[in-house]
Structure 1
Amino acid sequence: MSLRQIEPKQRGFLIVNAHPDGAARTVHRMWEAIPARSDGRRPVALILGHSAGYGLATLLAGLRQHGIRGIGVAFETPDTGRRTASAGWYRTAATADLAAADGHDIRFVNTDAFSIDAKSHVADLLEEHYGPVDYLIYSLAAPRRTDPATGEVHHSVIKPLGAAYEAPALDFSASEPAISWTRIEPGTVTETRATVAVMGGEDWSVWVHVLAARRLLAPGFTTAALTYVGSEVTAPVYRQGTIGAAKEHLEQTARDLNDSLLLKENEGRAFTVVAGAAVTQASSAIPSIALYTAFLRTVLGDNGFRTTAQQATDLWDQLEGRTPLVLDNEGRVRLDGWELDGRVQDQVRALWADPQRSLESSRAGAHWFMGEVRALYGWNVDDVAYDQPAETDIPWPTQR
């Protein structure tokens, strides 16, 4: 037991501790926002990066609406006594409780998904408990990856390519949002290659090949990796930068998988899924994305901005055939039409043109963004008793 009074600790845009009850409440809130239904089919799913962002939303929507069985994989840190467990640790515990109460058969593995040992262990669990996989959802976001073949550690960077990037950014390190300016020097060839090694499609492909070698691809196997395109406003630091190079590699990997014999033999398919903007731990760390998202929220309001849960529900409906696939000319599943609508982007560009002045008219959107970032770590969440001690030493869920 580790019952103690805790308060948020923030360093710049980073929040370095989490509130267990607040993190659990965010999961409950997302769960309740997804309408429950059952179509009788209970596909086996492997969700890589299940504890945050679109991975968490895809897991919850899959459980809630399609009764998925299988395994979620994440790499989270426990309570150390000096620092709380990571928010993803607490979210996983809450997800396990909800799934168990609803009768779902889902296991959670805390491991470095990039490692060979992790792949072997997960394959063993699949063989023992579930059999071949119907869906592999790849939603890993990490700052580094150790190459399993060479032992080299690759570090991803968020940098433009070709020229320095100067743009307005949202400073949410204080109680009131403010405009700051960011300048980022262009990434080098070495930094770009390292970012591709971390965030590209190499590890995704390895996962598929490991499952195939263990005869764990079900007939009609589908795998999907989450990606993002975004607006021309943020393109220099995202889609045209080092991260964009990694996303292009991810998308090429989908094409290579679709052309491979191992998927053709199972009548399988591989997609990249272009999601819309969202407040995630990863996106909050990207310069200017926070301000762009705040402006986007201002333009769209409460009803127009699509949550990760809503987008994940759309994704499952497309993958399961409830609704037609929405594919672009490159074969990518598109969930971002609401964001990239021309009228919406025109209004965002108008705000971006004078960010200091626009912040005044967009203050509600900026406060919303700040609140959503803090909620990712379990802070500023309704119906949580922050003035009371909380149990921070919560065990990782084991199969009941």
Structure 2
Amino acid sequence: MKASLQMKGNVARSVNPYGIRQEVLNEIDYVKAQGSYEGPKKVLIIGGSSSYGLSSRISSAFGAGADTIAVSFERGPKTETNIGTAGWYNNIFFREFAEEAGLIAKNFVGDAFSLAMKQQVIAYIQKEFGGKIDLLVYSLASGVRVDPMGKKWFSSLNPIGQDVTGENINLETEEIFEQTVHAATPEEVEGTVKVMGGEDWEWWVNLLKEAGVLADNFKTVLYSYIGPKMTHAFYHGGALGRAKDQTEESAVRINENIQDIAGKATIIVARAVTTKASVVIPILPKYLIALYKLEENHETPIMHIDRTYRTMLYGDQANYDEKGRMRPDSFELEPALQAKVEALFNEITAENFKTDIAAYDLFRTEFLNLNGFEVEGNTIDEFEFDDLLTLKP
């Protein structure tokens, strides 16, 4: 069978498994080309199958020589028309390359929010992973969570206090369209905080510490985003931003809990990049094609995270703000650049966005790469469905 791109809006409904394999290898090769650095050695990543979570895993493993565990909720192949998610294959092929390099790469596929999953991971650390971890990365993006009491919560991308109208890009039809997003209800805001806030991050750290599996000088990080004023209504000032604000409260409590092992919890404010999550945030795709056109330091997720780890988190160039958040996003938010980006944003129209005025082609290619399409170096677009069934995470 031949891999073919299928889209619904800004969501890919198909993948090219071997294109994904090549993309993982390309990211590994990027990290290797930067050289090694002194970093973590035993890493647990919650949400490690894509985006910043996967990048954290690749940088830690192939930059610092770390053994890694990733927890993610992904789907494998079911039928010839449903061959699974990109993250399923990211997990498989990362493990393949890591084990070839002599590294441990364990994948847990299931609900990271659940107590059962937490207990499974802790048991594995105790029995098969050396007994301790020195880095926990929390990079979970989800639309739903069942909390410890069994209540189901849903997250929202809606603004708070007002309806907001703006232009967005439909990657399926390759059109710019006007979109109105209604204000979040109080219940939607509460649900977003429950799903995307820091409550589960705290729970993971608490259980790991109680089990005695945190090493001295343990670090834990959670990724956040602030972004420019153009996206504030949906992100920083919306329901999702409220959740990210709550993570800062969680970071304070985590730091108090792990101070006896000289541990540190850090919110990393990351830059805007092309991910499965970012392309569905209203207005953000149009902002990205303006930003990518004008910035001198364009970064993909692996480039951004690898720089953050080797120069900031485990380097001597850390940049913190007044709230103690690490700020590798400073390149993006430099005032002179943002003034130019805003001006270009206002010049981009439905008629010209695919021309050289903006970086639409780069944005679309990066999105396709996430799903294994148009990947540099890939030569395999045809495969047997039965072969996919033999690939195990």
TM-score above 0.5: yes
5+ residue gaps, structure 1, are none
- Alignment of 1:94 with 2:93, yes or no, is yes
CA distance in 1, matches of 2:202, 2:17: 34
Shift of 1:387: 5.2
- Alignment of 1:163 with 2:162, yes or no, is yes
- Alignment of 1:280 with 2:275, yes or no, is yes
Amino acid at match of 2:307: D
Residue in structure 2 matched with residue 172 of structure 1 by the alignment: 171
1:374 to 341, 345, 368: 368
- Decide whether aligned partners of structure 1 residues 41 and 27 sit closer, same or farther in structure 2, where only a CA change above 3 A counts: closer
CA distance in 2, matches of 1:385, 1:38: 29
Residue in structure 2 matched with residue 348 of structure 1 by the alignment: 341
2:389 to 390, 393, 398: 393
SS in 2 for 1:221: strand
Residue in structure 1 matched with residue 50 of structure 2 by the alignment: 52
CA distance in 2, matches of 1:298, 1:42: 35
CA distance in 1, matches of 2:180, 2:93: 39
Amino acid at match of 1:350: A
Q: Does the Cα contact within 8 Å between 2:138 and 2:221 map onto a contact in 1?
A: yes
Amino acid at match of 1:322: G
The CA deviation string for residues 273-327 of structure 1, in whole angstroms up to 9 with x for no partner, is 0110110011111111111111110112xx5212212221222225654323211
- Alignment of 1:335 with 2:334, yes or no, is no
Shift of 1:39: 5.5
Q: Does the Cα contact within 8 Å between 1:84 and 1:393 map onto a contact in 2?
A: no
TM value normalised by structure 1? 0.92
The CA deviation string for residues 236-260 of structure 1, in whole angstroms up to 9 with x for no partner, is 11100000000001122112222x2
- Alignment of 1:105 with 2:100, yes or no, is no
- Decide whether aligned partners of structure 1 residues 70 and 15 sit closer, same or farther in structure 2, where only a CA change above 3 A counts: closer
- Decide whether aligned partners of structure 1 residues 42 and 355 sit closer, same or farther in structure 2, where only a CA change above 3 A counts: closer
1:233-252 map, 5 Å: 233-252=230-249
1:35-50 map, 5 Å: 35=32, 37-38=35-36, 43-50=41-48
The CA deviation string for residues 47-104 of structure 1, in whole angstroms up to 9 with x for no partner, is 1111100011111000111111231111110100140111011111111111111111
Amino acid at match of 1:376: L
Amino acid at match of 1:67: G
Amino acid at match of 2:309: W
Residue in structure 2 matched with residue 62 of structure 1 by the alignment: 60
Q: Does the Cα contact within 8 Å between 2:215 and 2:261 map onto a contact in 1?
A: yes
Residue in structure 2 matched with residue 134 of structure 1 by the alignment: 134
1:254 to 251, 254, 258: 251
Q: How many residues align?
A: 387
Give percent identity, aligned residues only.
27
SS in 2 for 1:112: coil
Greater alpha carbon shift after TM alignment, 200-209 vs 28-37? 28-37
1:177-188 map, 5 Å: 177-188=174-185
CA distance in 2, matches of 1:281, 1:143: 13
Indicate the RMSD between aligned Cα atoms, in angstroms. Answer: 1.8
CA distance in 2, matches of 1:383, 1:136: 32
Amino acid at match of 2:344: L
